[in-house]
Amino acid sequence: MAHERIVLLMPWVKITCTERDELMSTRDLVPFSCTDLDAEFHSEPQMDIEWAERGADQPVLREHRYPARTYLSDEPGTVRPDRKPCEHYRYEAQP
Higher pLDDT, 32 or 76: 76
Q: Which residues contact 61 (CB under 8 A, 6 or more apart)?
A: 20, 23, 24, 29, 50, 51, 88, 89, 90, 91
pLDDT-wise least confident of 24-28, 51-55, 68-72, 87-91: 68-72
- Is pTM beyond 0.85 here? no
- Model confidence at 70, pLDDT cuts 50, 70, 90, reads confident
